[in-house]
Structure 1
């Protein structure tokens, strides 16, 4: 195509057809390149080392934060297992000898008592 020469109708129509074909080829190439750009080790046979270090991993969960803390919420009436007044079995735990000096602690004064119940 020369700069000073005017094209005929047939030449212009042929040019439009060739450009339309070229546009379709470029669109197909663009789609293929976009598809290949989206490949990583998760969705193809590429090794993990070929993944981009700048790509963010997909979120593990799509659930949104509720803003509440975990556990029972304020105002919730809780329920727990209460200790029974008369347990089936009682155990008394006596101290052994002192680990430092080896003296007997059986006659030592009580330091405290704890009541526990195993369910």
Structure 2
């Protein structure tokens, strides 16, 4: 009987250790994810970050800020835009789609994202 009680106590202790370890893993993952988002937010928008961190291949709807940024990159250099999108896999809208969406987005909104030359 003593062995059975000792076994039950060790089993409970083991389960508690597993739960504590899982909590620690979850906390570290959350910390890493928040740090990654913080670093990426200096370059990318929230929508682009979520696209980078998920398995999704495309965005349902680009924001006017994202379209404005893509428009400004494309405006400055078509080759750069294509390189960033295709070779470096930056999450940028397809430029033709951006042109169609621009009709529904305020042109001034897009132009203000273009840096002065």
Q: Which has the larger radius of gyration?
A: 1
Shared fold (TM-score greater than 0.5)? no
TM-score (norm 1): 0.31
> Which of 1 and 2 has higher RCO (CA within 8 Å, sep 6+)?
2
Which structure has the highest helix share of the two? 2
